[in-house]
Amino acid sequence: MEYTLLSILLINVIVLIGSLLQGLIGYGVGMFCAPLLFLISPTLVPAPLILISTIITVVMMMRDREHLQFKQVSWAMTGGFFGVLAAGLVLKVTSKEQFELVFALLILFAVFISILGFIPKVNNKTNTIAGFTSGLMGTITAVGGPPMALLYQHGDIKNIKANLTAFFLFLNIVALSTLALVGQITSNTFIAVAIALPGIAIGFYISSKAHHIIKPHLIRKWILTLSAITAIIALVRAVS
């Protein structure tokens, strides 16, 4: 991809908002950024966005580590590992057109399960299932937040952010390793991330200052609405 001044500006604005959401509620950088970055260029998803998410989760883990409940997320990490491996196989055999279709359908699925609003029990089984689904979706589309966020949605916001951050940090490391093995990480991946660094820094800084002001449940609704619209656009492109 050739970067113009306009594309660089758009990428940083999108990543800034995604970083802000991630810093406020523990997820959102994938759900918000993936559909929009994909419309700018499919090469920005998944590898560059997963690397961007990794940078954000490292910083968040340093900030929120005292609220981590590791025992709760250990089973989710196991499920996530196998979900990432399954996603690696999918990426290896799909064409660009098939990937666009899978991307759009998985985004819509992510929106759908987030809207359901039911209260699942948090146990080893549900953690494993949610982790596997997040791993599969996150590696293919860079949007793995909804299954895990739905599982933990009724906990304390500080614990939710810390638990989700630990899970996604682990998942991102596994995902990046898998993507590297199937040839999805190149020098262009690091160039895209370097371009987005200002957006990452500004978004996270604002989240640290504004987390007492913005209501997380309103942000979730906005994410879901915008993601559904952009996923439908991507779906139309894939089948046209």
* pLDDT tens-place values along the chain, 240 residues long: 889 999 999 999 999 999 998 998 888 898 889 889 999 999 999 999 999 999 999 999 998 899 898 988 999 999 999 998 888 888 888 776 677 788 788 888 888 888 877 677 888 999 999 999 888 888 877 778 888 888 887 777 788 889 999 999 998 998 899 889 989 999 999 999 999 999 999 999 999 888 777 776 777 777 778 778 878 877 887 787
The pLDDT value given to residue 118: 67
* CA 148 vs CA 27, 91, 95, 188, 238: distances in Å: 9, 22, 28, 30, 28
CA distance 34 to 159: 25
The pLDDT value given to residue 119: 72
The pLDDT value given to residue 96: 62
CA–chain centroid gap for 97, Å, is 22
Amino acid making up residue 205: Y
User: For residue 95, what are its two tokens?
Assistant: 């064409």
Residue (of 110, 82, 81) closest to 170 by Cα position: 81
CA–chain centroid gap for 140, Å, is 10
Q: pTM for this one? A: 0.83
Largest alpha-carbon pair distance within the chain? 49
Amino acid making up residue 60: M
For residue 24, what are the domain limits? 5-239
**Domains: count for the chain:** 1
Q: By three-state DSSP, how is residue 144 classified?
A: coil
CA–chain centroid gap for 229, Å, is 17
Element (H, E) at 232: helix 216-239
Cis? peptide before 46, omega within 30° of 0? yes
